[in-house]
Structure 1
Amino acid sequence: MAADTAVVPALRADSPDGSAADNIFRQFCRYLAVAYLLSAVGLSGAIAMSTDVVPVWWTAASVLSIYGSAAVMFATSFQRPDIERIRWAATVLVIGYGLTIATWPLVWNGDQLDAGHGMWFTQFNGFVAATAALILRMRWSLPYLAYVVISVQFVNEAVRTPAYDSSVMTEIAWSFCLSAMPYAVVVAAMRSGRILDATRKRSVRAAAEAAASVARAGERSRFDALTHDGVMSTLLAAARLPMSEALVRQAVETVDKLDVLASGANVATEFGIETALAEFRGATGEIDDAVRVHASIAPDISDQRYPGDVVRTMSAAAAEALRNSVRHAGPDARRRVDVAADNDVLRVSVSDDGVGFNPKSVPGNRLGLAVSIRGRMEQLPGGKAEITASPGAGTTVSLSWKRP
């Protein structure tokens, strides 16, 4: 028996190119790396001038840790989807810049620069604060922003000649305003990326759970239909009729179908028009081998393919309609099965001229109509079942499917 369970598949909520947060991180690293490298060109004179007040080796080490890391950031930003190398380069840059500020007082020789801009590394602290916002949460990146903004102004206050002196607090306030803008943009963008990723994961999980629910409902419908068509019919026949080869064959086929359902085997495939007709003939022949299937095939559809679940579902519903006719239409009723095939369209009609019935008088919970015929067809996108009958005028069950 098919278990009433469904496994939610392993989810991959991110895109093949990485999550939204990762893509935002990569783009910002690329833009910031370009800004760093352009600043290296613009500040080359200031870098050379700074060797008058600090050792050359210290300047070289600082330039390498900052601009070398920026070059690595730029190069690795084109590698997808992994961002760990970019993250490492950005981390080295942020740490290197912090160490540059922290060690500057230790290597400064006490001389001053006759330059209004001060030390070269004080000119792009806003870029570094934005880089810190990429790799650190706000509770860490915000103190880092305050550290670099305040520290570089005291460095400039110490190294510039008195001719360029200005209020330190004014410089700090101005620097903070300029640095806070790119920092805030990065923080907001990264937060939006994380929210988008979380929303995407929730949506994918909800879709997977909905699909699992549909799969469980489908399994229940298949089991209900098989129980009615096979198990109940076989048991009723065994109780009412003498043992026969047909009854044994029906019992064996029912057990085989239950085994397939229990195994969860995926038998989905496609049918050409001839194999589809063979499926209809086989399904109805199991019920009444005296009834022929009359086919009406549109021209030029020899290459038409129909989904396997559509053909099997319609053949099972047609077989159930024929079984109902055999049971209820009366001993003198004549039966007919018609199949019409066209491009992306299948129609099956099972009709008899028997005693008929009033469809409105049939309870909705009758499995023969509700599950084995209507329920089956409603499971198919594009499927429909119509039952036309009246007392004394026979019954026609019309099944149709049109590719959505």
Structure 2
Amino acid sequence: MTAGRGRSRRPGRPRTALRTGPDRATRRAATRTTDRTGERVPPGLRTAAGYAWRLVALGVSAYLAVTVLSRLQLPVIAVFLALVITSVLRPPVDLLARALPRSLAVLFTLVGSAVLVGGILALVGTTVAVEWGRLGDELHGGFGRIDRWLSGAPFHLRPGAAGDLRSRIGDYLSAHRSALLSTALSGAGRAVELLTGLALAVFCAIFFLHSGDRMWSWGVHQLPTRTRPVWQRAGQAAWHTFAGYTRGVLIVAATNAVLVGIALAVLRVPLVLPLVVLEFVATLIPLIGSPIALAIAALVALAARGPVVALLVLGLIVVIGQIEGHLLHPLVLGWSVRIHPVAIALSVAGGAVLGGVLGALVAVPVVSVAWAVTGALRHDSPDG
């Protein structure tokens, strides 16, 4: 009995030899294995890696899209111009369609717009032809005034500096006549290409104005049923923003052109009408277009009217910029485009780097449409 009691185990804590489970070395080996398989990666690093490869995929996709679009430059520009024409002419077409068949409404609107644009261009050409002789005399005398101005305080340049510059420009043109001629010929080929793109744009705009809604509905119905509402919301947001931006920019450009025309007429600067048209076209490029056009007007004023008038024209850059930035853009574009000026500046710079002047023209509407579509889909999503 004594021996039996000695061999019996008390209930309680088990002996060390009877313990189950991995020992400390086995647990360390398992930890190293899970670290190598990525199961113990910190959550922040895992999230950053997920965003990184998604951003890389988006960057590659954007690069491929830009490459493809650059190869298809003519049809892409034609479709863009067709959308611009449609956004501008859609309200008068809808108004005329209340009393006329839609085909006749489209025809009358296009013919009237063509007559209006052609009349403006003919008036500009006539003005340049009439004032060119007088402008040549004024420029000839203007070089003398500029020479006297540069030779005085605070520049103190030697007399004849402006005349030397003019003679050097003439010598350069004479020495590089063949290169300039080839450049002009290549520019003529480019002009033919632009005319072809314009004809294609008008052709597409006719169908967009006549049956654009049916074309969009047909395209949406080719998609899977569950994705149609998403594409419908995206299309509505895109068109609302694009049309609002196009009409707003044209209103802003026309207002700037009228203000500049009044100021130049008061200051008696020659070639007022061509400079007004230049201001209108240049304002279509946000932030930088209007100052460039006014700088050209200041050069004309410097040659024709002297440095005081040129400085007054340069002052217009500040005045027009303040009116455009603090009055016209918030009133005209604020309801359709809500992009920070920094984003606009970066968009224009990026578009100019990628596509030159055309890239600068289309950069802001493209970014505006993309932002509007993103906001519409985000607000309509279940998580938004």
**Shared fold (TM-score greater than 0.5)?**
no
The structure with more radius of gyration: 1
- TM-score of the superposed pair, with normalisation by structure 1: 0.25
Higher helix share: 2
Which one has more relative contact order, counting CA pairs under 8 Å at least 6 apart? Answer: 2
Higher strand share: 1
- TM-score of the superposed pair, with normalisation by structure 2: 0.26
